[in-house]
């Protein structure tokens, strides 16, 4: 009995010595696991609380690419490596269906936002306080005008400028060489409308163009923007440019910036500010 007891004590001492040796070599074995578990729960709860707060505040979590040299976020034109991000061309589901705003709808907006109809070119010269010259812009090209003059009310001038800028942005982000939209008609006097109706059956007597709120952008021609004469841009089909323009105009219309009619015979988008 005494021998068995001594044998047990000897074994116990050996175990204690081994455990002490293990703890000396691997101290992490003796860490308080309960304390670690409690810490893990606190961290998890903190993360959950932050997630809940973010969801409650409807704060979107997004990571924007950053310029490695400056530390500033890159615009959406570029990815994290500075490469141009190309977006798809989707066009719109039918031009006539997407841009259905007839003359009666546009005429209401023209009467509300426009000026008193201009009688003739001489009368237009006295309307400089009401109208803005739009004959020169880096964002669009004005065709040689025979039946109108390049003036709009300020609200419409801003819209035209915004369309041109948005078109540039859309071409850039889709990887398409820059082209200017072409404006074919702007402000018409009563005399212009009278002369136009003699050979254009689509011209109406009470035209929206007389109020300075309306302009036409052709969809089958575009002006190529080249860096220089010896650096021509690659050719782009007019259909492709029309699809991109239709996306820009659809967004403007859906944002309630304008009314738009797709003119089949005239080859243009007929646009009135709202």
pLDDT surpasses 70 at 255? yes
**Which pLDDT score, from 0 to 100, does residue 94 have?**
93
Cβ(266)–Cβ(95) under 8 Å?
A: no
Residue 10 placed within a domain: no
Residue 157 placed within a domain: yes
Give the domain CATH number at 115: 3.30.1380
Residue 24 placed within a domain: no
Residue 27 DSSP class: G
Residue 137 placed within a domain: yes
**Which pLDDT score, from 0 to 100, does residue 25 have?**
60
Q: 9 vs 32, which has greater pLDDT? A: 9
**Residue 43 is inside which H or E element, if any?**
helix 33-57
Please give the Cα distance from 154 to 187 (Å, whole number). 13
Residue 222 placed within a domain: yes
**Residue 263 is inside which H or E element, if any?**
strand 258-263
The whole-model pTM stands at 0.68
Q: 55 vs 140, which has greater pLDDT? A: 140
**Which pLDDT score, from 0 to 100, does residue 70 have?**
57
What are 37-95's pLDDT values in tens digits? Answer: 454 455 445 434 444 443 333 333 334 455 565 565 555 556 667 676 667 888 898 99
What are 223-240's pLDDT values in tens digits? Answer: 999 876 676 677 899 999
In three-state secondary structure terms, 34 is: helix
**Residue 224 is inside which H or E element, if any?**
strand 223-224
Domain that holds residue 137: 95-273
What mean pLDDT is predicted for residues 205-226?
Answer: 93
CB atoms within 10 A of CB 26: 9
Please give the Cα distance from 84 to 67 (Å, whole number). 13
Residue 128 placed within a domain: yes
Q: How many domains does the chain have?
A: 1
Residue 133 placed within a domain: yes
Which residue blocks in 64-187 are alpha helix, DSSP H?
95-98, 103-113, 121-125, 154-173
Q: Dihedral of the CA atoms 151, 153, 157, 159 (nearest 10)?
A: -140
What are 108-132's pLDDT values in tens digits? Answer: 999 999 999 989 888 888 888 899 9
Residue 9 placed within a domain: no
pLDDT surpasses 50 at 35? no
What mean pLDDT is predicted for residues 171-187?
Answer: 94
Please give the Cα distance from 115 to 189 (Å, whole number). 12
What mean pLDDT is predicted for residues 144-164?
Answer: 95
């Amino acid at each position: 009995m005494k021998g068995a007891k001594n044998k047990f004590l000897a074994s116990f001492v050996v175990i204690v010595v081994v455990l002490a040796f293990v703890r000396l070599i691997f101290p992490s074995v003796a860490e308080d696991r309960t304390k670690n578990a409690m810490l893990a729960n606190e961290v998890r709860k903190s993360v959950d609380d932050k997630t809940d707060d973010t969801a409650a505040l409807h704060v979107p979590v997004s990571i924007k690419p950053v310029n490695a040299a400056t530390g500033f976020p890159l615009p959406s034109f570029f990815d994290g490596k500075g490469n141009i991000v190309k977006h798809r061309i989707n066009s719109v589901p039918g031009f006539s269906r997407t841009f259905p705003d007839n003359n009666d709808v546009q005429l209401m907006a023209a009467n509300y936002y426009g000026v008193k109809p201009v009688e003739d070119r001489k009368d237009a010269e006295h309307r400089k306080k009401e109208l803005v010259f739009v004959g020169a812009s880096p964002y669009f090209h004005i065709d040689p005008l025979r039946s109108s003059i390049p003036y709009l009310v300020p609200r419409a001038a801003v819209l035209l400028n915004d369309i041109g800028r948005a078109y540039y942005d859309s071409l850039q982000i889709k990887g398409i060489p820059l082209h200017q939209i072409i404006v074919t008609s702007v402000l018409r006097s009563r005399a212009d409308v009278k002369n136009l109706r003699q050979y254009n059956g689509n011209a109406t007597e009470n035209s929206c163009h007389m109020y300075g709120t309306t302009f036409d952008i052709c969809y089958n021609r575009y002006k190529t923007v080249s860096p220089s004469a010896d650096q021509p841009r690659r050719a782009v089909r007019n259909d492709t440019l029309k699809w991109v323009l239709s996306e820009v105009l659809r967004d403007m219309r859906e944002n309630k910036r304008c009314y738009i009619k797709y003119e089949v015979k005239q080859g243009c988008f007929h646009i009135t500010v709202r």
